[in-house]
């Protein structure tokens, strides 16, 4: 199908000539009715796509890119021709991540229920706010995720658009904790008084960790990259040496980052030893499990992860191993107070308080569909096979927006945003993704006072 968006005179055209007007003002450009009819127009194509028959559409890029890559139109195509584009160009040329033979990376295709739930939240909960059932669903999902991964119920978490934002939030909380140890408030006052902040990670750590330092104002150059040993894991002796050198130079240790499954080989850093070093040094341990975090569920490699209760923060991607829709990352944090103060929303005179039930999405759906029970988690080993003593797994295993959260304002804890004159509510950093969920604390039934902005 060849579609010309507009003529030289600016008249909209489609594959069969000029549009016929659908109403008193011309083509039906945007509507909120006819959902069943519109879905029916693309559902057969989606069913065909899921059969993964015929040649790989990736080889046809030059054909569909020429149709889709058009200048900004002066007039829209209307509903019918937009649906044709979706059906004939987008769906039919989709990426076959769900094919049984696909091995490009660890990301999986969403299950049917997850895809349906994604549509449901897009229509019925377009704004992540306290008034919708979807908010509570996300709160429950986060509580389930924390329990599934073995964290104590006192840990809290938030859904994100992916591992990049999850790592950003975890390191942002680490920055806040480091500042507070020095009597500072980095999220409120900036980095003044926080000399030469340092984050320590292996050379195999994903580049989003360095980018997080840039976004958080600490600077990518302050990521101290530590070489790995022959087995691909961070060299602990070199890490200790770097910590000693920076301490002597007056630098501020922000966090040690452990890798729970690196991108290239699936190697898991010696997390128990990193946890011990972090405790001895009085610094934060952040674990990047975006690629291999769910390997903790496989009893054959469970020991590689150590005691997750010793982590300070943990990034993980349900949209990789749990077959949730893309844009479903998560970060789990030990200290709710530090996380809240790191991402506080400042209040104004126009703010008011309401009684709300906290929570926010649709991400329980994979759990609802698959359950937890007592499964054989051997399927995780197909993503992160049983590792050798060195922690290396096979090369085959190698493979981002938060809505407002809530805070209890019934008691002003020492060092809390209330005591600092800050907001009593908080949210994590913004992201282009509209499907990510709000913060959840694992206590969705508790009714809480929050300050909110209309």
Given CATH 2.30.30.30, say whether it is the number of domain 121-452. no
What's the chain's average pLDDT? 77
141 to 130, 166, 324, 365: CA distances (angstroms):
15, 16, 12, 8
Contact call for residues 387 and 268 (beta carbons, < 8 A)? yes
pLDDT in tens, 42-55: 999 999 999 999 88
pLDDT at 29: 61
Percent of the residues in the chain that have a pLDDT greater than 90, as a whole number: 55
What residues does CATH 3.40.640.10 cover in the chain? 121-452
pLDDT in tens, 396-449: 233 333 333 333 333 333 333 323 333 323 333 333 333 333 333 333 333 333
- Report the Cα 259 to chain-centroid distance in Å: 16
**Out of 1-15, 227-241, 361-375, which region has the weakest mean confidence (pLDDT)?**
1-15
pLDDT at 28: 55
Type and span of the H or E element at 380: helix 378-381
pLDDT in tens, 81-105: 999 999 999 999 999 988 988 887 7
Tokens 């005691």 — which residue? 307
Beta bridge partners of 329: 160
Is 60 exceeded by the pLDDT of residue 71? yes
pLDDT in tens, 311-335: 999 999 999 989 899 899 999 999 9
pLDDT in tens, 280-308: 999 999 999 999 999 999 999 999 999 99
Q: Could you tell me the two tokens for 126?
A: 């377009």
User: What is 310-331 written as a DSSP string?
Assistant: G-SEEEE-HHHHS-PPSS-EEE
pLDDT at 383: 41
More confident residue, 373 or 168: 168
């Amino acid at each position: 199908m060849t579609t010309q968006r507009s003529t030289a005179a600016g008249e909209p055209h489609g594959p069969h000539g000029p549009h016929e007007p659908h109403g008193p003002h011309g083509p039906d450009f945007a509507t909120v009715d006819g959902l069943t009819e519109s879905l029916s127009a693309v559902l057969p194509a989606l069913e065909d796509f899921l059969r993964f028959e015929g040649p790989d559409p990736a080889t046809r890029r030059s054909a569909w890119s020429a149709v889709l890559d058009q200048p900004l139109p002066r007039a829209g195509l209307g509903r019918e021709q937009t649906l044709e584009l979706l059906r004939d160009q987008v769906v039919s040329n989709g990426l076959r991540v769900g094919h049984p033979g696909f091995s490009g990376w660890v990301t999986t295709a969403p299950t049917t229920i997850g895809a349906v739930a994604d549509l449901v939240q897009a229509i019925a909960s377009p704004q992540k706010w306290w008034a919708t059932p979807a908010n509570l669903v996300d709160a429950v999902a986060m509580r389930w995720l924390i329990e599934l991964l073995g964290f104590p119920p006192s840990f809290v978490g938030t859904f994100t658009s992916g591992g990049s934002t999850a790592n950003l939030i975890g390191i942002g909380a680490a920055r806040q904790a480091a500042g507070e140890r020095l009597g500072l408030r980095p999220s409120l006052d900036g980095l003044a008084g926080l000399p030469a902040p340092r984050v320590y990670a292996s050379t195999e750590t994903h580049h989003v960790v360095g980018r997080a330092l840039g976004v958080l104002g600490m600077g990518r150059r302050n990521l101290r990259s530590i070489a790995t040993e022959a087995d691909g894991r961070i060299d602990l002796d070199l890490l200790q040496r770097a910590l000693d050198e920076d301490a002597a130079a007056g630098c501020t240790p922000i966090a040690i980052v452990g890798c729970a499954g690196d991108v290239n080989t699936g190697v898991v850093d010696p997390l128990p030893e990193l946890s011990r070093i972090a405790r001895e040094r009085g610094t934060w341990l952040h674990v990047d499990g975006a690629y291999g975090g769910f390997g903790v569920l496989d009893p054959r490699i469970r020991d590689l992860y150590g005691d997750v209760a010793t982590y300070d923060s943990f990034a993980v991607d349900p949209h990789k191993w749990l077959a949730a829709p893309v844009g479903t990352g998560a970060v789990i944090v030990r200290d709710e107070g530090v996380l809240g103060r790191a991402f506080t929303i400042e209040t104004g005179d126009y703010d008011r308080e309401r009684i709300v039930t906290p929570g926010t999405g649709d991400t329980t759906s994979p759990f609802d569909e698959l359950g937890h029970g007592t499964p054989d988690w051997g399927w995780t080993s197909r993503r992160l096979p049983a590792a050798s003593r060195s922690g290396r797994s096979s090369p085959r295993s190698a493979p981002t927006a938060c809505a407002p959260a809530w805070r209890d304002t019934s008691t002003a804890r020492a060092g809390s945003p209330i005591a600092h004159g800050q907001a009593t509510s908080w949210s994590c950093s913004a992201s282009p993704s509209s499907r990510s969920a709000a913060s959840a604390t694992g206590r969705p039934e508790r009714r809480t006072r929050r300050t909110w902005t209309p």
